[in-house]
C-alpha cells in the first residue's frame, strides 16, 4: 500500500512539474509576442520563425530616407557585429540576392542609423511623409555644444536624435555633427519633461546614454538581406571605436565663472604662449596618433581644460599622459623627426619613465608614463641633480574624448578626481609658483636611483 | 502573475519526496527506481528555480521599462515650460491711446505696447498695427512728420499694411508741420475725421481698421502757436475677427507655411504678404559652375533693423551660387522681428546677448559671430562676412569663387573685399578688374580662418575698449603689411541710412553714388596678376604704358583728363613720406571720393577711373613708383584749406554734397 502510494505521489509530482514547464514555455512565448507585435504577417517564407517586422520597418525607413535624398548609414552594433563576420563575402558580392534574412530579422526593438547633419537640410517634408507612411516619430533636441563655449549666444537647439516607430519596431537615427578638431560628435539622449517616456524602451538604445566622438567613417554601400544600405567600411573598427567613444564636454559654465573670479591674462605673452602651446599640442597629437599611441591631457594641461577650457598661460609647458603598456621605442625618433628634440629622459620603461621634448621657444612637451597597479595608477618623477625619485598617485580612471584647442583628445573621464589628486581640493585657485616635487598633493618620496644606473635613468640633453 | 502563487506549495512536496525517497531507498534497494525518483525530484527542483527566476526576470523587466527613462535619459535641467496664455476666445480688445506733448502710450487689454516719454525723442505720429484676429502687435513705427519727407514714408508704410489690420495712431509733441495733403488724405481714407484739419501742436489719437470701421478718434486743438493741445486719452473697444478671416489663403506648401507664420506676426514688408501673387521667398538663382565658395560659410551680422535685413537677405539669396545652408544670421540682441525675417527665408539665426556699449558692442558681436561661424563649420577655411545693410551683387559668389584661391595661396593677402572705397559712379568702370590695396574695406569680405583663429581672436579688443572692430583690424599691428583684394566695381552696396556711425547726410555724401555691379557672370581678368610679385610687374607695365598728364592744369578740373576713352593716364602728387597724405586728401575731396581717411592705396599709388580712362596717381617721392616720373614733371601739391577748429568731417561732407 505504502509502496503504491509513493509511486503515485512521485508520478503526480512529475506531472505537476511538467505542467509547470509547459506553462512556463507558453508564458514566455506570450511575453515575447507581446513585445514584438504581430502587425506584419510573416511573408518572407525563407525566414519563417524569424521576425520580419523589423525587416519591413527598416525597408520602409530606407525608402522614406532615399525618397528625400538623405544619406544615412547603418551603425547598429548588433548588425554590424554580424556583418563584420561576413564582411569579405558582403564586399565581394555587393548586389547578390541573399538566400536568407540573416541580419535584419533578429527580433530587436531598434535598428540604429546615423545621419551626418550637414548632408541634409532639415526639411519638414520628411516627417510629413513619414507620418503618411505610418511612422510615429520623436525628435530629441538640445543645445548646440558648438556654441556652448561662447558666453552670450542663445545657443540654438539642434536635433540630436530621431526615433521613427512603426508597429513594434523603432528606427533610432543618431545625428552626427562635425566639430572643430575634425571629428564627428553625437549628443546624449535626454528627454524633456513633456516627452513620452514610454515611446520606446529608451534604456535599450545603443547610443545616447553619453555623447560620443568618432572619426569620420569611410562608407561602403552594401546589400544585405536584399536591402541596400551604407555601412562603415570597416565595421570592426567602428565597433571598437564605439566601445570607448564617450565624450565629455568642457565645463564652459564653470570656466566662465572661473574667469569672472580670475580674469584671463590677455597680455601679448599669454597670447603668444597659448598659440605655441596649441601648435605644440597639435604636433604632439599628430605624432602620437600616427604611432597609434593613446595619450591624454595630464597635469597642468588637464587642469587648464577642466578649469578654464583653455591653456593656462603661466603653465609654460604641455603635459601628456601615456599608459606604459602603450609605450613604443619609436616615440623618441618620431618626435625628433617632427622637429621636437629630446630634452631629457628620466627613468626606464620598467620604472618612472618620463620624456621631455623641446618645442618652439622654451615651450616644453612632457610625456609622463603611467603604471597601473591593482587599486591605483601612478607616474614617476626624477630630480636630475640628486637622483631622487618621486611617485604621483592617482585613483583609477578610464579615458574619455573631449575637444581642446580644436583637437579631439583624451582626458580621464573621472577628471575631477584626477585633478584633485594632483592639485588638491584647492585646484580652483590659480597658483603661479608650482614646485613639481612638493606642491602636488599626491606626491610620494620614492627613494633614490642607484648611482650606477644614473647614466641610463637620468639623461639630460 | 498570480498563477505563479501556487509555486511555494511545491516546496513541501519536494521535501516530502526527498524524505520518501530516502525511506524507499532503505526499504528497497533497486537502483533503477532510485534513479528515477531522484531524477524526478531534481527535475522538480529545477522547475521551481526556473519558475522563480522567470518571475523575477519579468518583474524586473517590467519595472525597468517603467523606470528607464526616468533616470539616465532625463534632461537634468527641468525645463518647466511656462504655460502659454491660452489663446483667449475673447472677441473684444480694450484699447487705450494717449497723446500729449511729452508722452504717448498705447495699452491693449491692459498691456502697454507703446510708451514713450523720453525727452527730445519720438516726436511725430506713432503708428501701431495690430493683428485683427489675435490682437498682437505686428508693427510699431514713428514718423517724425514735423520734418520733411517723413509723411511720404508714412504713406508708403500705411499702403503696405494689409487690409483688415487694426491701426492705432497717436501724436507726440508735434506731427502736422510737414504732414502734406497726400498723407492727410490717406488718413482720411482710413476713416479719420480730424486728419484733414490737423494743425500745429494738435493732440490726436485714432483707432481704426484698414479698409473698415473706425473704433474711435479724439482730438485736442492747440489754442495758440506757443502752446500745445490738451492731452487726449482715447478708450475704445475693438472687435476681433476669426483667424481665418485674418489670413490669406495661399496654397499649403512648406514655403507658404513660413510665409503665413511671418505675415501673421509682422507688418510692413509689402507684397511678401499679399494674398494675391505674393513676392516669392525662394529665389533659386542659377548655380555657379565650378563654385569654389559653395562650402564657405556666410555670416550675416545683424542688429535690430529687420527691414534692412529683409532687403539684404533677398539680394543675398538671389545671388548666383548662393548656398542657403551655409548662411547664419547673427542678431545682436533678443529681437523678435529680425528672427522672424530669418525664419521667413528658412535660414538659421542666432541671437547674441549684447555686451558693452556702442562700438564695443558691435565689436563684441563681430567676435562672437566669427567664432561661432568657425565652430559651426569646423571644416571651413574661410568665412564670408556680411552686414545687414548691404545689397549683394548678383555675381558676388562668382567674384569670390574666381579669386578665393589667392587668399589661400598668397600669404601677403589679408582679405578679399567686395567693396571698393573709391569706386563711385564716376570713378569705377571695369567690372572685371581687381586691385590690391593696403586698406581693409570691409562691407562684404572674406576672412581666412587661420588669420582669425591664430591672430585676431586671441587679441580681439575686450568689451571695455570702445574701438571699432574694423579700425582695429586696419591697425598695422594686426594688418602687418598685408593687403586686400578688391574689385574696381563693388560687389556690395551699402544702403543703410540709420546706424551707429551713419546718418542721412553722411550716407548721401559717401555711399549713395557708389557704383554697384549688376552684370551677372563677370569673368575676372588677370586674377593671377594679383599675386604679390605679379602685381608689381603689372603695375610697372601699366605705368610704362601710361601717358603723363599735363601737370600745369588743375587736377580738380574736368579738363585735366582729356576727353578720351580706354586710355591710361598717370599724375604725380607730392607725398614726402609714407604717411604724408596731404595732397591726396585734397585731391580726393575735389574728386568727390572717400576723403575721411586714406583708402585704396598700394605703395603710394591709387588707381581709379576718370572719364572712362584708367587714372593712376603716384605719390612722389614716397612711392617706389616715383622712378617712373619724368624729370621734367613737378609733382602737384595741394594745400589743405585753413583748418576750422575741431571740424574735419563737416567740410568734407559739405564738399561731397555738391556733387
Closest CA–CA distance from residue A267 to any residue of chain B (Å): 8
Q: Please tell me whether residues A320 and A177 are part of one structural domain.
A: no
Which residue in B has a C-alpha nearest to residue A154's C-alpha? B351
CB contact at 8 A, B384 and B295: no
Q: Average of pLDDT values for B442-463?
A: 92
Q: Please tell me whether residues A177 and A268 are part of one structural domain.
A: no
State yes or no: is B488 an active-site residue.
Answer: no
Q: Point out the residue among B50, B58, B353 whose CB comes nearest to the CB of A31.
A: B58
pLDDT in tens, B120-154: 888 999 999 999 988 899 999 999 898 888 888 89
Mean of the per-residue pLDDT values of chain B: 86
Higher pLDDT, A20 or A392: A392
Closest CA–CA distance from residue B224 to any residue of chain A (Å): 53
What is the rounded CA–CA span in Å between residue B472 and residue A115?
Answer: 42
Which CATH number does the domain housing residue A224 bear? 3.30.460
Q: Which residue has the cell 480688445?
A: B93
State yes or no: is B379 an active-site residue.
Answer: no
Please name which of A442, A438, A410 lies closest in space to residue A423, comparing C-alpha atoms: A442
Instruction: Output the pLDDT for position B89.
Output: 57
pLDDT in tens, B295-312: 999 999 999 999 999 999
- Among A223, A245, A267, the domain-final residue is A245
Among A6, A9, A11, pick the best mutation site for testing chain B contact (most B Cβ within 10 A): A6
Instruction: Output the pLDDT for position B65.
Output: 47
Q: Point out the residue among A17, A123, A201 whose CB comes nearest to the CB of B68.
A: A201
What is the rounded CA–CA span in Å between residue B457 and residue A266?
Answer: 11
The total of other beta-carbon atoms located within 10 Å of residue A22's CB is: 10
What is the rounded CA–CA span in Å between residue A167 and residue A135?
Answer: 8
What is the rounded CA–CA span in Å between residue B543 and residue B489?
Answer: 21
Instruction: Output the pLDDT for position B414.
Output: 96
Q: Which residue has the cell 521576425?
A: A51
What is the rounded CA–CA span in Å between residue A449 and residue A453?
Answer: 7
pLDDT in tens, B331-370: 998 889 999 999 999 999 999 988 888 888 999 999 999 9
- Coil, helix or strand at residue A313: coil
Cell representation of residue A164: 521613427
Which residues does B94 contact at the CB level (< 8 Å), separation at least 6?
Answer: B107, B108, B109, B110, B235, B236, B237
Closest CA–CA distance from residue A279 to any residue of chain B (Å): 10
Within a domain: A158: yes
What is the rounded CA–CA span in Å between residue A243 and residue A421?
Answer: 27
Q: Strand order in B483-487's β-sheet? A: A153-154, B348-352, B327-332, B298-302, B382-387, B445-448, B413-417, B483-487, B434-437
The total of other beta-carbon atoms located within 10 Å of residue A71's CB is: 13
Q: Do B375 and A13 touch (CB under 8 A)?
A: no
- Among A225, A245, A265, the domain-final residue is A245
What is the rounded CA–CA span in Å between residue A376 and residue A367?
Answer: 19
| Binding-face residues of A in 252-311 toward B, CB within 8 A | 266, 268, 271, 274-275
Q: Is the dihedral of CA A429, A434, A436, A441 positive or negative?
A: negative
What is the rounded CA–CA span in Å between residue B400 and residue B412?
Answer: 18
pLDDT for residue B446 is more than 90 = yes
Task: Report the Cα–Cα distance between both ends of chain A, in Å, rounded.
Answer: 100
Give the angle A167-A170-A171 at the CA atoms, nearest 5°.
135
Please name which of A322, A338, A325 lies closest in space to residue A287, comparing C-alpha atoms: A338
Q: Which residues of A touch B10 (CB under 8 A)?
A: 16-17
Q: Point out the residue among A10, A152, A182 whose CB comes nearest to the CB of B353.
A: A152
CA distances from B323 to A7, A121, B313 (A): 87, 11, 12
Give the DSSP H or E segment for B164.
none
pLDDT for residue A43 is more than 60 = no
Mean of the per-residue pLDDT values of chain A: 87
Instruction: Output the pLDDT for position A385.
Output: 87
Cell representation of residue B519: 552684370
CB neighbour class for A438 (10 Å; exposed up to 12, middle 13-18, buried from 19): exposed
Please name which of A316, A314, A317, A298 lies closest in space to residue A306, comparing C-alpha atoms: A298
Within a domain: A323: yes
Q: Please tell me whether residues A349 and A266 are part of one structural domain.
A: yes
Q: Do B76 and A197 touch (CB under 8 A)?
A: no
Q: Which residues of A touch B351 (CB under 8 A)?
A: 153-154
Which residues does B180 contact at the CB level (< 8 Å), separation at least 6?
Answer: B151, B152
Q: Do A20 and B47 touch (CB under 8 A)?
A: yes
**Where residue B15 falls among pLDDT bands split at 50, 70, 90?**
low
pTM, 2 dp: 0.80
**Tally of domains within chain A:** 2
Which residues does A161 contact at the CB level (< 8 Å), separation at least 6?
Answer: A139, A140, A172, A173, A174, A175, A186, A187, A189, A207, A208
Instruction: Output the pLDDT for position B618.
Output: 95
| Binding-face residues of A in 325-384 toward B, CB within 8 A | none
Which residues does B263 contact at the CB level (< 8 Å), separation at least 6?
Answer: B162, B247, B248, B269, B272, B273
pLDDT for residue B90 is more than 80 = no
For residue B621, cis peptide bond before it (omega within 30 degrees of 0): yes
Cell representation of residue B271: 507684397
Which residues does B562 contact at the CB level (< 8 Å), separation at least 6?
Answer: B569, B611, B613
Within a domain: A73: yes
Q: Please tell me whether residues A319 and A441 are part of one structural domain.
A: yes
Cell representation of residue B628: 617712373
Domain interval for residue A379: 252-460
Q: Which residue has the cell 569670390?
A: B400
* Size of chain A, expressed as the number of residues it contains: 461
Which residue in B has a C-alpha nearest to residue A188's C-alpha? B73
Q: Do A13 and B458 touch (CB under 8 A)?
A: no
Please name which of A145, A138, A147, A146 lies closest in space to residue A172, comparing C-alpha atoms: A138
Among B71, B355, B458, pick the best mutation site for testing chain A contact (most A Cβ within 10 A): B458
Q: Do A24 and B254 touch (CB under 8 A)?
A: no
pLDDT for residue A181 is more than 60 = yes
Closest CA–CA distance from residue B337 to any residue of chain A (Å): 16
What is the rounded CA–CA span in Å between residue A229 and residue A75?
Answer: 11
Q: Please tell me whether residues A337 and A392 are part of one structural domain.
A: yes
Which residue in B has a C-alpha nearest to residue A279's C-alpha? B454
The total of other beta-carbon atoms located within 10 Å of residue B574's CB is: 17
Residue A121 sits at the chain B interface (C-beta within 8 Å): yes
Task: Tell me the β-bridge partners of B260.
Answer: none
What is the rounded CA–CA span in Å between residue A420 and residue B96?
Answer: 63
Q: Which residues of B touch A194 (CB under 8 A)?
A: 81
pLDDT for residue A329 is more than 50 = yes
Q: Do B353 and A154 touch (CB under 8 A)?
A: yes
Cell representation of residue A286: 599628430
Q: Average of pLDDT values for A173-178?
A: 94
Q: Please tell me whether residues A279 and A235 are part of one structural domain.
A: no
Task: Walk me through the domains of chain B, giving residue ranges and CATH numbers.
Answer: 92-245 (no CATH), 298-527 (3.90.550.10), 531-628 (no CATH)
The total of other beta-carbon atoms located within 10 Å of residue B286's CB is: 11
Please name which of A185, A181, A163 lies closest in space to residue A172, comparing C-alpha atoms: A163
Within a domain: A17: no
Q: Please tell me whether residues A259 and A403 are part of one structural domain.
A: yes
Q: Catalytic one among B151, B332, B391, B470?
A: B470
How many helices (H) does chain B have, and how many strands (E)?
Answer: 17, 24
Instruction: Output the pLDDT for position A95.
Output: 64
Q: Which residues of A touch B372 (CB under 8 A)?
A: 146-147, 150, 153
Q: Do B350 and A156 touch (CB under 8 A)?
A: yes
Within a domain: A20: no
pLDDT for residue A164 is more than 70 = yes
> For a pLDDT cut of 70, what percent of chain B falls above it?
87
What is the rounded CA–CA span in Å between residue B383 and residue B367?
Answer: 13
What is the rounded CA–CA span in Å between residue A207 and residue A110?
Answer: 11
Q: Which residues of A touch B40 (CB under 8 A)?
A: 10, 13-14, 17
Instruction: Output the pLDDT for position B499.
Output: 66
* Size of chain B, expressed as the number of residues it contains: 659
What is the rounded CA–CA span in Å between residue B491 and residue A394?
Answer: 60
CB contact at 8 A, B472 and B478: yes
Within a domain: A443: yes
Q: Do A125 and B254 touch (CB under 8 A)?
A: yes
Q: Do A197 and B70 touch (CB under 8 A)?
A: yes
Q: Please tell me whether residues A347 and A270 are part of one structural domain.
A: yes
Residue A15 sits at the chain B interface (C-beta within 8 Å): no
Q: Please tell me whether residues A196 and A304 are part of one structural domain.
A: no
Closest CA–CA distance from residue A426 to any residue of chain B (Å): 27
Closest CA–CA distance from residue A402 to any residue of chain B (Å): 15
What is the rounded CA–CA span in Å between residue B369 and residue B384?
Answer: 11
Closest CA–CA distance from residue B262 to any residue of chain A (Å): 17
Please name which of A303, A269, A297 lies closest in space to residue A284, comparing C-alpha atoms: A297
pLDDT for residue B11 is more than 70 = no
Question: Strand B232-239 to strand B203-209: parallel, antiparallel, or no bridges (unpaired)?
Answer: unpaired
Please name which of B337, B343, B307 lies closest in space to residue B137, comparing C-alpha atoms: B337
What is the rounded CA–CA span in Å between residue B341 and residue B359?
Answer: 25
Q: Do B375 and A142 touch (CB under 8 A)?
A: no
**Where residue A330 falls among pLDDT bands split at 50, 70, 90?**
very high
What is the rounded CA–CA span in Å between residue A101 and residue A103?
Answer: 6
| Strand ranges, E, within B303-412 | 327-332, 348-352, 382-387, 390-392
Q: Please tell me whether residues A367 and A456 are part of one structural domain.
A: yes
Q: Is the dihedral of CA A253, A258, A261, A265 positive or negative?
A: negative
What is the rounded CA–CA span in Å between residue B201 and residue B146?
Answer: 10
- Among A245, A278, A310, the domain-final residue is A245
Q: Please tell me whether residues A195 and A58 are part of one structural domain.
A: yes
Within a domain: A35: no
B294-314 in b/e burial notation, b at 16+ Cβ within 10 A? eebbbbbbbbebbbbbbbbbb
Q: Which of B146-155, B259-268, B443-452 has the highest mean pLDDT?
A: B443-452
Q: Average of pLDDT values for A130-156?
A: 84
Which residue in A has a C-alpha nearest to residue B460's C-alpha? A266
Which residues does B427 contact at the CB level (< 8 Å), separation at least 6?
Answer: B515, B591, B593, B608, B609, B610, B615
What secondary structure does DSSP assign to A343-386, as a single string? EEEEEETTEEEEEEEE-STT-EEEEEEEEE-SS-EEEEEE-TTT
Cell representation of residue B509: 555724401
Question: Strand A219-224 to strand A227-232: parallel, antiparallel, or no bridges (unpaired)?
Answer: antiparallel
Q: Please tell me whether residues A395 and A329 are part of one structural domain.
A: yes
Among B73, B74, B348, pick the best mutation site for testing chain A contact (most A Cβ within 10 A): B73
Within a domain: A403: yes
Amino acid at each position: 500500500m505504502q509502496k503504491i502510494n509513493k509511486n503515485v505521489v512521485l508520478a503526480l509530482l512529475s506531472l505537476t512539474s511538467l505542467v509547470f514547464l509547459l506553462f512556463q514555455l507558453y508564458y514566455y512565448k506570450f511575453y515575447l509576442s507581446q513585445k514584438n507585435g504581430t502587425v506584419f504577417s510573416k511573408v518572407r517564407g525563407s525566414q519563417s520563425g524569424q521576425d520580419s517586422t523589423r525587416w519591413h520597418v527598416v525597408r520602409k525607413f530606407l525608402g522614406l530616407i532615399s525618397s528625400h535624398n538623405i544619406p544615412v548609414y547603418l551603425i547598429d552594433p548588433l548588425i554590424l557585429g554580424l556583418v563584420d563576420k561576413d564582411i569579405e563575402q558582403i564586399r565581394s558580392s555587393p548586389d547578390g540576392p541573399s538566400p536568407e534574412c540573416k541580419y535584419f530579422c533578429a527580433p530587436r526593438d531598434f535598428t540604429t542609423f546615423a545621419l551626418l547633419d550637414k548632408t541634409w537640410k532639415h526639411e519638414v517634408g520628411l516627417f510629413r511623409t513619414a507620418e503618411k507612411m505610418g511612422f510615429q516619430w520623436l525628435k530629441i533636441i538640445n543645445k548646440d555644444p558648438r556654441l556652448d563655449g561662447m558666453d552670450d549666444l542663445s545657443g540654438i537647439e539642434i536635433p540630436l536624435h530621431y526615433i521613427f516607430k512603426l508597429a513594434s519596431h523603432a528606427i533610432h537615427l543618431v545625428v552626427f555633427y562635425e566639430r572643430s578638431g575634425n571629428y564627428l560628435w553625437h549628443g546624449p539622449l535626454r528627454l524633456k519633461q513633456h516627452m513620452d517616456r514610454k515611446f520606446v524602451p529608451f534604456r535599450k538604445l545603443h547610443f545616447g546614454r553619453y555623447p560620443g566622438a568618432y572619426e569620420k567613417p569611410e562608407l561602403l554601400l552594401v546589400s544585405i538581406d536584399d536591402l541596400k544600405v551604407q555601412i562603415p567600411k570597416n565595421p570592426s573598427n567602428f565597433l571598437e571605436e564605439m566601445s570607448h567613444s564617450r565624450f565629455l564636454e568642457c565645463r564652459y559654465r564653470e570656466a566662465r565663472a572661473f574667469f569672472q573670479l580670475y580674469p584671463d591674462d590677455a597680455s601679448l605673452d599669454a597670447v603668444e604662449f597659448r598659440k605655441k602651446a596649441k601648435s605644440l599640442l597639435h604636433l604632439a597629437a599628430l605624432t602620437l596618433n600616427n604611432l597609434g599611441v593613446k595619450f591624454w591631457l595630464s597635469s597642468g594641461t588637464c587642469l587648464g581644460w577642466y578649469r578654464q577650457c583653455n591653456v593656462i598661460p603661466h603653465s609654460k609647458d604641455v603635459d601628456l599622459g601615456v599608459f606604459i603598456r602603450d609605450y613604443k621605442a619609436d616615440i623618441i625618433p618620431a618626435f625628433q623627426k617632427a622637429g621636437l628634440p629630446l630634452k631629457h629622459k628620466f627613468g626606464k620603461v620598467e620604472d618612472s619613465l618620463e620624456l621631455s621634448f623641446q618645442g618652439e621657444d622654451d615651450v616644453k612637451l612632457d610625456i609622463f608614463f603611467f603604471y597601473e597597479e591593482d587599486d591605483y595608477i601612478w607616474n614617476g618623477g626624477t630630480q636630475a641633480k640628486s637622483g631622487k625619485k618621486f611617485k604621483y598617485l592617482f585613483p583609477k580612471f578610464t579615458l574619455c574624448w573631449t575637444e581642446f584647442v580644436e583637437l579631439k583628445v583624451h582626458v580621464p573621464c573621472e577628471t575631477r578626481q584626477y585633478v584633485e589628486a594632483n592639485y588638491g581640493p584647492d585646484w580652483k585657485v590659480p597658483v603661479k609658483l608650482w614646485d613639481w616635487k612638493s606642491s602636488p598633493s599626491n606626491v610620494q618620496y620614492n627613494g633614490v636611483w642607484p648611482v650606477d644606473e644614473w647614466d641610463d635613468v637620468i639623461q639630460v640633453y | 502573475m498570480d498563477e505563479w502563487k501556487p509555486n511555494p506549495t511545491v516546496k513541501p512536496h519536494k521535501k516530502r519526496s526527498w524524505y520518501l525517497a530516502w525511506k524507499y531507498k532503505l526499504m528497497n534497494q533497486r537502483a533503477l527506481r532510485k534513479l528515477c525518483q531522484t531524477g524526478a525530484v531534481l527535475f522538480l527542483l529545477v522547475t521551481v528555480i526556473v519558475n522563480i527566476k522567470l518571475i523575477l526576470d519579468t518583474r524586473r523587466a517590467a519595472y525597468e521599462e517603467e523606470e528607464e527613462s526616468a533616470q539616465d535619459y532625463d534632461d537634468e535641467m527641468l525645463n518647466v515650460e511656462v504655460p502659454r496664455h491660452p489663446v483667449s476666445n475673447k472677441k473684444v480688445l480694450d484699447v487705450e491711446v494717449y497723446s500729449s506733448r511729452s508722452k504717448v502710450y498705447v495699452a491693449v487689454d491692459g498691456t502697454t505696447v507703446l510708451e514713450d516719454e523720453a525727452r527730445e525723442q519720438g516726436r511725430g505720429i506713432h503708428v501701431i498695427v495690430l493683428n485683427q484676429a489675435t490682437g498682437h502687435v505686428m508693427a510699431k513705427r514713428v514718423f517724425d512728420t514735423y520734418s520733411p519727407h517723413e509723411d511720404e514714408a508714412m504713406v508708403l508704410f500705411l499702403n503696405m499694411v494689409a487690409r483688415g489690420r487694426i491701426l492705432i495712431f497717436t501724436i507726440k509733441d508735434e506731427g502736422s508741420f510737414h504732414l502734406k495733403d497726400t498723407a492727410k488724405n490717406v488718413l482720411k481714407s482710413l476713416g479719420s475725421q480730424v486728419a484733414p484739419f490737423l494743425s500745429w501742436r494738435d493732440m490726436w489719437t485714432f483707432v481704426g481698421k484698414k479698409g473698415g470701421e473706425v473704433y474711435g478718434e479724439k482730438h485736442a486743438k492747440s489754442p495758440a502757436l506757443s502752446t500745445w493741445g490738451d492731452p487726449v486719452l482715447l478708450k475704445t473697444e475693438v472687435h476681433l475677427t476669426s483667424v481665418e478671416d485674418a489670413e490669406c489663403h495661399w496654397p499649403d506648401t512648406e514655403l507658404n507655411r513660413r510665409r503665413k507664420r511671418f505675415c501673421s506676426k509682422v507688418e510692413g514688408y509689402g507684397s511678401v504678404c499679399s494674398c494675391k501673387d505674393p513676392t516669392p521667398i525662394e529665389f533659386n538663382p542659377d548655380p555657379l559652375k565650378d563654385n569654389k565658395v559653395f562650402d564657405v560659410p556666410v555670416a550675416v551680422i545683424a542688429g535690430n533693423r529687420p527691414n534692412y535685413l529683409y532687403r539684404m537677405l533677398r539680394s543675398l539669396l538671389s545671388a548666383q551660387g548662393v548656398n542657403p545652408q551655409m548662411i547664419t544670421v547673427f542678431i545682436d540682441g533678443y529681437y523678435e522681428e529680425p528672427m522672424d525675417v530669418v525664419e521667413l527665408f528658412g535660414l538659421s539665426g542666432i541671437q547674441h546677448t549684447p555686451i558693452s556699449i556702442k562700438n564695443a558692442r558691435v565689436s563684441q558681436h563681430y567676435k562672437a559671430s566669427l567664432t561661432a561661424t568657425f565652430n559651426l563649420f569646423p571644416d571651413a577655411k574661410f568665412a564670408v562676412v556680411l552686414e545687414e545693410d548691404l545689397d549683394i551683387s548678383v555675381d558676388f559668389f562668382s567674384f569670390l569663387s574666381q579669386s578665393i584661391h589667392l587668399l589661400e595661396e598668397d600669404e601677403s593677402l589679408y582679405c578679399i573685399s567686395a567693396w571698393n572705397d573709391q569706386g563711385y559712379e564716376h570713378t569705377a568702370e571695369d567690372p572685371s578688374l581687381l586691385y590690391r590695396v593696403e586698406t581693409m574695406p570691409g562691407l562684404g569680405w572674406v576672412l581666412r580662418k587661420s588669420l582669425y583663429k591664430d591672430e585676431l581672436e586671441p587679441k580681439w579688443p575686450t568689451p571695455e575698449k570702445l574701438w571699432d572692430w574694423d579700425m582695429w583690424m586696419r591697425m598695422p599691428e594686426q594688418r602687418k603689411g598685408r593687403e586686400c583684394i578688391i574689385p574696381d566695381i563693388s560687389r556690395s552696396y551699402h544702403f543703410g541710412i540709420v546706424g551707429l556711425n551713419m546718418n542721412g547726410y553722411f550716407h548721401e555724401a559717401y555711399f549713395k553714388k557708389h557704383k554697384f555691379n549688376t552684370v551677372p557672370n563677370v569673368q575676372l581678368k588677370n586674377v593671377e596678376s594679383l599675386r604679390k610679385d605679379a602685381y608689381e610687374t603689372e603695375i610697372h607695365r601699366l605705368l610704362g604704358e601710361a601717358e603723363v598728364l599735363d601737370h600745369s592744369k588743375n587736377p580738380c578740373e574736368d579738363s585735366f583728363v582729356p576727353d578720351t576713352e580706354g586710355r591710361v593716364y598717370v599724375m604725380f602728387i607730392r607725398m614726402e613720406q609714407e604717411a604724408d597724405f596731404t595732397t591726396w586728401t585734397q585731391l580726393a575731396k575735389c574728386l568727390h571720393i572717400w576723403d575721411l581717411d586714406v583708402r585704396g592705396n598700394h605703395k603710394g599709388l591709387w588707381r581709379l577711373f576718370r572719364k572712362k580712362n584708367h587714372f593712376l596717381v603716384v605719390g612722389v617721392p614716397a612711392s617706389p613708383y616715383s622712378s617712373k616720373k619724368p624729370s621734367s614733371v613737378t609733382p602737384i601739391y595741394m594745400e589743405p584749406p585753413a583748418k576750422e577748429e575741431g571740424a574735419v568731417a563737416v567740410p568734407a561732407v559739405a564738399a561731397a554734397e555738391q556733387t
